[in-house]
Amino acid sequence: MPEREVVLGIETANGRSSLCLSAGGAVLAEAQCERRDALGWLRGSVPQLLAQAGVAGSELAALAVSHGPGALTGVRVGVAYAQGLALAWRRPLVGINTLHALAWSAWQAAGDVAVPLSVALDARMGEIYEWHGAALPPANDEPGDRLAAPQPPAGIALYAGPGWEAYAEQLPAQSTLLPGLLPQAQAVSVLGAQAHAAGLSAPPADLAIRYLREQVAQVPRRVSAGGRASPGG
């Protein structure tokens, strides 16, 4: 068994899929890709990542996955695969808000974990998924995310994420936009470890995808232990 609690983070909610194994906030192994076939990449990469770190899936303290908001297909692939692994390995699963993961990465990039910021993902249809604040809420609190028109919140000078990059002309003149940041599995793994330590992990089947645009969301399909989805009934 590993000496420290190891958490596998999975992020597939936006364009670039990534994986990270961390323990105590330190990265043990990570991988990322920009393939459209996220599920195929996950199936090949997870065993390689575990072997690289010398950890068996059944030895993990928990798994963590970004469960939205984000690109619907990507979120569903990541959540379904994480549920399948957690069921097969009999490990608890933590859902991490995708915008919270992006905010964690933005604070690391800025080198200041206390500065108020706003992060956003492009929700299409002239809207963004947005979160702003100076600190993430507790994992069992309301996440504070929203689906909104791309209007910058008051009192914020630091912005990050593809949502704000798509609407950069809307940002205040004296603000700073951190370029090229996407949600990353490292953030999902680290935040997942914190939530697990706080007793907030749960049985895999209990994890729900976070939809903010209900009118285009569909009912998720049931997931088997092998990570394959089957139609709900």
- Kindly state the DSSP code that residue 202 receives in the 8-state scheme: B
Residues in the chain predicted with pLDDT less than 50, given as ranges, are 217-233
Separation of alpha carbons 127 and 109, rounded Å: 25
Residue 162, SS3 per DSSP: helix
What's the pLDDT at 216? 52
Q: What single letter denotes the amino acid at residue 18?
A: S
Residue 230, SS3 per DSSP: strand
The boundaries of every CATH 3.30.420.40 domain in the chain are: 6-97+183-230, 99-178
Most distant CA pair in the chain, distance:
53
What kind of architecture, by CATH, is found in domain 6-97+183-230?
A: 2-Layer Sandwich (3.30)
Question: Which of these CATH numbers, 3.30.420.40, 3.40.50.300, 3.40.190.10, 3.40.50.880, describes 99-178?
Answer: 3.30.420.40
Separation of alpha carbons 104 and 84, rounded Å: 26
- Tens-place pLDDT, residues 119-161: 999 999 999 999 999 999 988 789 999 999 999 999 999 999 9
What's the pLDDT at 232? 33
Q: What is the β-pairing status of strands 222-223 and 146-148?
A: unpaired
Dihedral sign computed on CA atoms, order 108, 110, 116, 122? negative
| φ, ψ of residue 164 in degrees (nearest 5) | -75, -30
Which residue from 129, 166, 132 is spatially nearest to 149, judged by alpha carbons? 129
